[in-house]
Structure 1
Amino acid sequence: QDIEFNLRLKRAGGRIILFPDIKLTYYSRSTLKELWKNNFGNGYWVIAGAKNASVPFSLRHMVPLLFVLYLVLGSILSLVSIMPKALFPGTIILYLIVVISSSLSVVRLVRNWKALFATILAFVTLHISYGMGSMAGLFSLISRREDT
């Protein structure tokens, strides 16, 4: 919704202005299931909605999709020995190092070390659900093309 609105605003000659002095309270999703559902929908519509709204999405919107595709294809390829044995687990370990270090930064910032495990789970849930939603959106686009 934000992507589509920002595009329409820019096309109409409007500008997006940041007011750093504005304070707001953000209410996050309270469960991993709600986080999953929300980000699956975001991932779905950034891809599926691109056809109807002609919304150009950026590369950062594709990263979770590419990551999920890599997880699926990498799992299969590593089982049939096409992929070097250390490449797939090495990539997963690298991802987990980045997620854990990012989570450490968050809990240090908010000074709540008890939230470390939940923050790690939230990052992984966000990435996987958004990527799977994008994959579902891509399948939706492909199936709509075949129907026409």
Structure 2
Amino acid sequence: MQTDGQPLPGVSYVMPVLNEVTEVRAAVASLLEQDYAGAFEVVLALGPSIDGTNELVAEMSAADPRIRAVENVVGSTPAGLNVAIRASTHPVVVRVDAHSVLPPDYTRIAVRVLQESGADNVGGIMRAEGRTPFEKAVALAYGSRVGLGGTPHHVGGQAGPAETAYLGVFRRDRLFAVGLFDEGIKRGQDWELNRRLRSTGGTVWFTPELVVTYRPRPSLKRLIRQFVATGLWRGELARRFPANNGLRYFVPPAMVVGLGLGLLAGIVGVVGALLGSGVAWAMTGFVVPAVYVLFVVVGGLAAARRSDNATRAWLLVVLPCIHIGWGVGFIVGFLTRTSELTTHTGR
């Protein structure tokens, strides 16, 4: 198979892996099953896993020479991506997440769009799919406006230039031209890299033709940690690059501030009423959290109207955890130096 009389470019799949023993086999299998006719390799950057991930990858690599493992001593996502990219050999780099499963036509479509658009990076839709009621609730939150806002890379949209892209299919030379991923940014490093690609005259391209299955975190604890960390780094990036901030990034922190002030005012009003002071009116502050609860219940039930009762119930728990976790993280990240904070706390 050729494009314009030229052989298809070789493709390098790069994947940072850390404690993903339950997901990595399916993620790698989806790469080996691609219907792309060009040459390819799979480069896995292995962090210091403690759950048997590295042993499993060693077995897969021994069984298939197209799978190579390189050591990611730092263990972070951007460090792993850079290690894998440097070890790669082909002109097209496909970023893959251990929680993602690519459809068989993903690479074929991505390379075609990369060539037709002339873009430096092409990405598509992250379609979250859950297997348990909890994971299904998280998937609904990802794909609904009441959850993560219904952005194009979650719900789809028109093909064209974009601010950033989910995962990404890159021209390898452009990655090196802009200095690869910033290893000082532990979350949101894809957004920051795409910012540099665009600032140096490149194009980031969204296409709804690309759809990737994403497996949500399997527990509430892991979900909260994910969104607090994501919020921390989004706040850090908002402070570092104020000219690139969209209004939607400030909605969750504004909501958290509003909830906090409303609850505080309401409590002051209750205490004032009990003491007979003149601040009982402050109890009206409870209107703010009441409105938020109503928003979550009405919006959540609407989003889960076709789901089972267990998924609906979980969604009413998941939504506040995402909103508040992300919002609190953003405020802390915006007001502090996240890189120093995460270093000191071991994140």
CA shift, 1:127, in A, is 0.5
Q: What are the Cα deviations for residues 56-106 of structure 1, in whole angstroms up to 9, with x where unaligned?
A: 2222111111121222222222233366423x2222222122212222233
Identity of aligned residues (%): 25
Aligned in 2, Cα 1:84/1:77: closer, same or farther, shift over 3 Å? closer
Q: Which amino acid aligns with 2:219?
A: T
Does residue 97 of the first structure (1) align with residue 285 of the second (2)? no
**Aligned residues of 1:7 and 1:55 also touching (Cα < 8 A):** no
Q: Which structure has the higher relative contact order (CA within 8 Å, separation 6+)?
A: 1
**Aligned residues of 1:3 and 1:55 also touching (Cα < 8 A):** no
Q: Which one of the candidate residues 314, 323, 331 is aligned to 1:127? A: 323
Counterpart position of 2:305 = 108
Aligned in 2, Cα 1:139/1:23: closer, same or farther, shift over 3 Å? closer
Query: How do 1:1-148 residues align onto structure 2 when only pairs under 5 Å count?
Result: 1=188, 2-52=190-240, 56-81=244-269, 84-86=282-284, 88-109=285-306, 111-141=307-337
Q: Which amino acid aligns with 2:283?
A: K
Larger % of helix: which? Answer: 1
Q: Hey, what's the Cα distance between the residues in 1 that align with 2:192 and 2:222?
A: 23
Q: Which amino acid aligns with 1:101?
A: V
Q: Which amino acid aligns with 1:3?
A: W
Aligned in 2, Cα 1:93/1:76: closer, same or farther, shift over 3 Å? closer
- Please, which runs of 5 or more residues in structure 1 have no aligned partner? none
- Please, which runs of 5 or more residues in structure 2 have no aligned partner? 1-187, 270-278, 341-347
* Residues 70-79 or 48-57, more deviating: 48-57
Q: What are the Cα deviations for residues 18-45 of structure 1, in whole angstroms up to 9, with x where unaligned?
A: 2222232111111111111111111111
Give the ranges of 4+ consecutive aligned residues of structure 1 lying more than 4 Å apart after TM superposition.
51-55
Q: Hey, what's the Cα distance between the residues in 2 that align with 1:8 and 1:133?
A: 24
Q: How many residues align?
A: 140
Who wins on radius of gyration, i.e. which is larger? Answer: 2
When the two structures are superposed, what TM-score results if normalisation uses the length of structure 1?
0.79
**Aligned residues of 1:4 and 1:55 also touching (Cα < 8 A):** no
When the two structures are superposed, what TM-score results if normalisation uses the length of structure 2?
0.37
**Aligned residues of 1:104 and 1:116 also touching (Cα < 8 A):** yes
